[in-house]
A and B are shown apart, each in its own frame.
Chain A
Amino acid sequence: MYKLNDEKMFFDIADGQAVVINFTTGMYYGTSTLGSAILENLVKGASEKSIADILRSAEGCPDNIEDQLKDFISALIEKEILLPEAGEGRAAELSPEAFSEGFDFTVDEFAEVQDLLMADPIHEVDVEQGWPILRDDE
């Protein structure tokens, strides 16, 4: 099983779209609807096998789905989004909506806000002290 590398990564999913932000590098990551659902399951500790089982049983599933899943997980580990963790993992849950846009899932990486995220804002808010406030780690 796997867990989110939360020392580096922020994970958020809404309306079926997952977003991962690496707050140590400023890179961010996106994936497809199915990739988002798989990633959410992985972050929540679902086992790879149980995800593969659901994928295989879905109508129209391509033959190479397990290779695709392995590649997807390898990419997530390589980009330090996921960390392997001991344990069997829980059963995965994938809703029919997860398959609504097909079986493609890859990790897409983006750098365009990197400069901004790496340049910490100095002017910050404190309701008692007034503006600006420095971060403690400045």
Chain B
Amino acid sequence: MPRVSVLMPVFNCEPYIGKAIESVLDQTFQDFELIVVNDGSSDKSGEIASSYPQVRCFDRPHKGIPETRNFAVSKAEGELITFLDADDLWAPEKLEHQVKYLDEHPDCDIIFCRYRNFTDIPEEEMTEKQRKLLGREIDKCLTAACMKKSLFDRIGGFSLTCPYGEDTEWSARLVLAGIDISKRLEEFLYLRRIHNDNITLAHNETDNQAFYVSLADSIRMKLRKGGIRK
């Protein structure tokens, strides 16, 4: 049984997925399995992933991120879980340092690390939006975390009703369940790629509504447990 399951959902990420996989295979900590779930890509993402014999690949019809992530979790055999988006990269020590932290802090359920944005886009071709994003870091980026798989048994999987923001909703559920998500390694172990294909498209009003309905359900559960309902 591997110690860590690395879960990589992918949808149409042909130019980058090879590098992402290699950054996992190059880890200094090697007791892991890498699971790639191809969410019905129309490009060669699935074929590229399958070309690595160390990768467990699953091909499925397109279902969207939350369901794909949940499927990946259901296939994970490791005690620890970590996600990597197929266009991003890891520093070689990411798993080693996060697993070490969790080993030394048995009460900790989830450990984050810092991440750095990067891009291959020439400076003169970058949009204002891309420049802004390059300099930005979110404190609790779920894909930069390594966590105990048991968290999914405790609070459930990603909400299928959230067309976007499913990682934020899931993280909020952790907080509402009283799980400490404050621990973060101050090393930059996750590299997030800014590229031309990830621009545009806003979520619409319906998507926003779905996100907040899902979050409100989790809050309601917490309020009841906390005795707010008098």
Q: Interface on A for B, CB 8 Å cutoff? A: 10, 12, 14-15, 17, 19, 21, 23, 28, 30-33, 101-102, 104, 108, 110, 112-113, 115-117, 119-127, 129-138
Contacts and interface: CB of A to CB of B under 8 A. Distances in A.
A126 B203 CA distance: 9
A75 to B, nearest CB: 15
Interface stretch (B48-56, B72-80, B146-154, B221-229): B221-229
B219 A129 contact: no
Interface residues of B, number: 48
B11 A130 contact: yes
A119 B229 contact: no
A119 B140 contact: yes
A132 B203 CA distance: 12
B230 A124 contact: no
B175 interface: yes
Contacts of B229: 17, 30, 32-33, 101
B230 A101 contact: yes
Contacts of A136: 200-202
A131 B39 CA distance: 11
B62 interface: yes
The interface centre, meaning the residue of B10, B62, B87, B172 with most chain A CB atoms within 10 A of its CB, is B172
A28 B219 CA distance: 8
The interface centre, meaning the residue of A31, A132, A137, A138 with most chain B CB atoms within 10 A of its CB, is A132
Nearest to A112: B175
Given A113-B176, A124-B165, A127-B62, A134 B200 contact: yes
A125 B64 contact: yes
